[in-house]
């Protein structure tokens, strides 16, 4: 115990965690290992994972096949530069990605994280416009268009299309590019659609399309920017408007891709195809950082026939073989299709249990789609208190802002899921009573 204390003390004093202060950090728990859906703490507690390590660990931890893919590749090479060299893990992975996405998406750029994938997609769109609309290298198109409450990553390009309030554009004002934001979709996933819901987007694109490089949006589920779930018709009409006004459509499936929403990709709910698609997070089953950007032949063709004669991006660890080999195996597991029944089962458990929380005054809304369950409260939560309560009950859930949400690994068993849901309900009821 003394060793754990001293490690945590060092952590508090020197190790930076996501979105925290070094002066007054949130408490952290020391993890020794994780197997399946269970996270083992150094202090002995075993927690049922409700987060999939932020959408990523869809097959659970320490998966025998993913371990084997890592070990066998490690013994060949863990990395090799991608400039001038290529390798089987990358080729196999791209083959699978191209095979499981719409046939129009033929070219694939392997990047190293979700944020970088978003940067890559934005640069692709920029170069495409430079070739297509540029006159002596000058194009009117200098802005991206998106909707409020989005999240696309923390690098400057990605941040410029994140919700301006949630990602605190004001903090970096003068440095973050000014883009065009439309009010978020007002129609919920399962509500009745009315064309009035697309009016603000349609007016914005009618007015601004001359200056818009691309529309970038998270399909159906807006993740870290607010966990909002919107109507597929909204996305379908955005696709039509983008086509009509010759504006590229970039879909950010980094959170939603690979089954999470009940479809392999969330855009399938709307039966559309993007011009550029970003995937990440669950791509490696949560083992390593890797992302991919797929695009159409037309996009790649114009990007590569323009002034630069190629796409100007190439990270050092591009196409890392270790990550590619694990991702390739993760896609094999996805292709077997068990996720469909697993995600359906998680969805129906959420649907039969979470809506009872709406009776509480502090609960503003409950939103469920696939293996995503969101409880929006009326007030911001104290993450420290919630974490303690969850750990005490043997589950791992990490709320942010007013949102308590679950997105467990697909392999969670009925009894584990029941314990996770019961704990969340208990903690929210306790919170409401104090
Ligand atoms: C997490 C996320 C990103 C950023 O990915 P990182 O790997 O954290 O850089 C981008 N877009 C969406 C929708 C995400 O959920």
Our CA angle for 181, 184, 185, nearest 5°, is 135
Per residue in 282-341, pLDDT tens? 999 999 999 999 999 999 999 999 999 999 999 999 999 999 999 999 999 999 999 999
Return the residue whose CA atom lies nearest to atom 10 of ligand 1.
Answer: 152
Does residue 67 fall inside a structural domain?
Answer: no
Question: Tens-of-pLDDT digits for all 434 residues of the chain?
Answer: 899 999 999 999 999 999 999 999 999 999 999 999 999 999 999 999 999 999 999 999 999 999 999 999 999 999 999 999 999 999 999 999 999 999 999 999 999 999 999 999 999 999 999 999 987 666 789 999 999 999 999 999 999 999 999 888 889 988 999 999 999 999 999 999 999 999 999 999 999 999 999 999 999 999 999 999 999 999 999 999 999 999 999 999 999 999 999 999 999 999 999 999 999 999 999 999 999 999 999 999 999 999 999 999 999 999 999 999 999 999 999 999 999 999 999 999 999 999 999 999 999 999 999 999 999 999 999 999 999 999 999 999 999 999 999 999 999 999 999 999 999 999 999 999 98
Structure tokens at 103: 């046939």
* CB 114 less than 6 A from any atom of ligand 1: yes
Task: Report the SS3 class of residue 74.
Answer: helix
Sort strands 46-49 and 395-396 into parallel, antiparallel or unpaired. parallel
* CB 257 less than 6 A from any atom of ligand 1: no
* CB 255 less than 6 A from any atom of ligand 1: yes
Domain closes at, from 336, 361, 390: 336
Nearest residue to 369 via CA among 386, 354, 387: 354
Separation CA 234–CA 247 (nearest Å): 16
Listing DSSP states for 17-74 in one string gives -TT--SSSPPP---EEEEEBTEEEETTS-EEEESSHHHHT-TT-BS-HHHHHHHHHHH
What pLDDT, on the 0 to 100 scale, is given for residue 400? 93
CA of 194 to the centre of ligand 1 (A): 31
69, exposed or middle or buried, with CB in 10 Å at 0-12, 13-18, 19+? buried
Domain closes at, from 304, 336, 368: 336
Does residue 202 fall inside a structural domain?
Answer: yes
Q: Which atom of ligand 1 lies at the shortest distance from residue 255's CA? A: 15
What pLDDT, on the 0 to 100 scale, is given for residue 354? 98
Does residue 362 fall inside a structural domain?
Answer: yes
The number of distinct structural domains making up the chain is 2
CA of 255 to the centre of ligand 1 (A): 7
Same domain, residue pair 282 and 358? no
What pLDDT, on the 0 to 100 scale, is given for residue 12? 96
The CATH number assigned to the domain holding 204 equals 3.40.640.10
In angstroms, the first-to-last Cα distance of the chain is 32
Separation CA 421–CA 424 (nearest Å): 5
Stretch (H or E) spanning 360: none
Structure tokens at 282: 């669950």
What pLDDT, on the 0 to 100 scale, is given for residue 168? 85
> What residues does 363 pair with on adjacent strands?
377
CA of 284 to the centre of ligand 1 (A): 14
CA of 114 to the centre of ligand 1 (A): 4
* CB 233 less than 6 A from any atom of ligand 1: no
**Range of the structural domain that residue 13 is part of:** 1-62+337-433
Separation CA 248–CA 29 (nearest Å): 44
Same domain, residue pair 403 and 371? yes
Q: Which residue has the tokens 């929210």?
A: 428
Counting ligand 1 atoms within 8 A of each CB, the residue from 53, 163, 223, 287 with the most, and so the one to mutate, is 223
* CB 130 less than 6 A from any atom of ligand 1: no
Give Rg (Cα) of the chain: 22
Same domain, residue pair 218 and 349? no
Nearest residue to 234 via CA among 273, 276, 184: 184
Cβ(124)–Cβ(311) below 8 Å = yes
340 carries an active-site annotation = no
Structure tokens at 400: 């942010």
Separation CA 107–CA 116 (nearest Å): 17
Question: Edge to edge, what strands does the sheet with 403-406 contain?
Answer: 363-369, 372-377, 403-406
Structure tokens at 58: 């869809």
Nearest residue to 213 via CA among 343, 125, 135: 125
Same domain, residue pair 343 and 286? no
Separation CA 373–CA 346 (nearest Å): 9
CA dihedral 213, 219, 225, 231 (to 10 degrees): 120
Length of the chain as a residue count: 434
Alpha helices by DSSP H, listed for 134-263, are: 156-159, 199-208, 232-244
What pLDDT, on the 0 to 100 scale, is given for residue 136? 65
Same domain, residue pair 19 and 30? yes
* CB 118 less than 6 A from any atom of ligand 1: yes
Structure tokens at 423: 């704990």
Task: Report the SS3 class of residue 319.
Answer: coil
275 carries an active-site annotation = no
Separation CA 135–CA 331 (nearest Å): 43
252 carries an active-site annotation = yes
Domain closes at, from 281, 306, 336: 336
Looking at residue 85, what DSSP letter applies? Answer: -
Question: Edge to edge, what strands does the sheet with 248-252 contain?
Answer: 105-111, 291-296, 276-279, 248-252, 212-217, 143-147, 180-182
Return the residue whose CA atom lies nearest to atom 11 of ligand 1.
Answer: 152
96 carries an active-site annotation = no
Same domain, residue pair 357 and 272? no
Does residue 241 fall inside a structural domain?
Answer: yes
Cβ(364)–Cβ(378) below 8 Å = yes
Does residue 68 fall inside a structural domain?
Answer: no
Same domain, residue pair 255 and 304? yes
Q: Quick count: other Cβ atoms within 10 Å of Cβ 93?
A: 27
Residues 6+ apart with CB under 8 A from 400: 224, 383
């Amino acid at each position: 115990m003394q060793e754990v204390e001293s490690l945590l003390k060092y952590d508090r004093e020197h190790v930076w965690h996501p979105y925290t202060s070094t002066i007054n950090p949130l408490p952290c728990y020391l993890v020794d290992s994780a197997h399946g859906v269970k996270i083992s703490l150094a202090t002995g507690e075993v927690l049922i994972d409700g987060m999939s390590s932020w959408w990523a660990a869809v097959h659970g931890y320490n998966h025998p096949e993913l371990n084997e893919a890592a070990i066998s590749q490690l013994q060949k090479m863990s990395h090799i530069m991608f400039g001038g060299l290529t390798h089987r893990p990358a080729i196999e992975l791209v083959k699978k990605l191209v095979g499981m996405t719409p046939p129009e998406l033929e070219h694939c750029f392997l990047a190293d994280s979700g944020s970088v994938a978003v940067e890559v997609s934005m640069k692709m769109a920029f170069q495409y416009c430079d070739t297509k609309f540029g006159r002596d290298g000058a194009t009117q198109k200098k802005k991206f268009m998106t909707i409020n409450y989005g999240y696309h990553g923390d690098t400057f390009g990605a941040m410029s299309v994140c919700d301006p309030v949630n990602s605190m554009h004001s903090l970096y004002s003068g440095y973050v590019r000014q883009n065009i934001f439309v009010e978020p979709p007002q129609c919920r996933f399962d509500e009745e659609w009315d064309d009035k819901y697309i009016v603000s987007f349609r007016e914005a694109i009618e007015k601004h399309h001359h200056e818009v490089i691309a529309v970038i949006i998270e399909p159906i589920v807006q993740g870290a920017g607010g966990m909002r779930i919107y109507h597929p018709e909204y996305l379908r009409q955005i696709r039509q408007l983008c086509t009509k006004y010759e504006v590229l459509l970039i879909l950010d499936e980094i959170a939603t891709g690979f089954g999470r929403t009940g479809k392999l990709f969330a855009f399938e709910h709307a039966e559309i195809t993007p011009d550029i698609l970003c995937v990440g997070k669950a791509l490696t089953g949560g083992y390593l950082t890797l992302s991919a950007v797929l695009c159409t032949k037309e996009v790649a063709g114009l990007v590569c026939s323009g002034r630069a004669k190629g796409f100007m991006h190439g990270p050092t660890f591009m196409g890392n073989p270790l990550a590619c080999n694990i991702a390739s195996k993760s896609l094999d597991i996805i292709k077997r299709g068990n996720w469909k029944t697993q995600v359906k089962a998680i969805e129906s458990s959420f649907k039969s249990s979470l809506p009872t929380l709406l009776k509480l005054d502090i609960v503003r809304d409950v939103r469920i789609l696939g293996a995503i369950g969101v409880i929006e409260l009326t007030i911001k939560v104290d993450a420290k208190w919630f974490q303690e309560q969850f750990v005490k009950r043997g589950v791992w859930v990490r709320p942010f802002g007013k949102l308590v949400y679950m997105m467990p690994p697909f392999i969670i068993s009925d009894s584990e899921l029941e314990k996770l849901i019961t704990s969340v309900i208990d903690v929210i009821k306790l919170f409401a009573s104090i």
